[in-house]
Amino acid sequence: MEEKQQSEVSDTRKKHDPVEGKKKNIMKDILGTIAYVAVICLVVFLVLQYVGQRTVVNGHSMDPTLAHGENLIMDKISYHFSDPKRFDIVIFPGPEEEGEQYFIKRVIGLPGETVQIIDGKVYINGEELTDDVYGITDYIEEPGIAEEPLTLGEDEYFCLGDNRPVSYDSRYEAVGTVHRSEIIGKVWIRIWPLSEFGPVD
């Protein structure tokens, strides 16, 4: 009888062993943390794969809006539902001579419009584009192919860098107009440096 009682006491202690319970709780916490991190990693992967993508500014063609070396997140999904708008900052592959390099430029001319640079100013359909406040200078010295009226075809865009004196953009034949299908996405957020973190206009 005594042996039976001792056995029951021993079983009860095993069932209510605080050390064993603590181990189980720790294990549960660890597994929960691993699952949480795995979900976060999956979400980040899906966002970067299908919604956004990190890119780095190379060069000074977008000064002062975007500086060399800044890290950006590109929005890759918006243009599946809407067309690029004037003054959007878009990303597209550069000409073959530039190798595997993406260009970051601002949309100036839209499909069907006629673009021309006269006396250093951009004209759209014969009227000066007065709300173009993004250029680093008010005067464009090199009009390039836009010296003569340039009518954009269906799904074609005319893009310029904000730093017009040094930007290699749609004014040059090697770059030319940008077809809608070439636009990968638009600049969304600056993530580095942290002091400049936030949406980009």
* Catalytic residue set: 61, 105
Task: Please name which of 60, 59, 58, 64 lies closest in space to residue 136, comparing C-alpha atoms.
Answer: 64
Token pair 């100036």 in the structure block, residue: 108
Give bridge partners of residue 185 from the DSSP assignment: 91
Dihedral of CA 40/45/46/50: which sign?
positive
Distance CA 162, CA 82 (A): 23
Residue carrying the six token digits 């966002």: 47
C-alpha span between 129 and 127 (Å, rounded): 6
Beta bridge partners of 127: 124
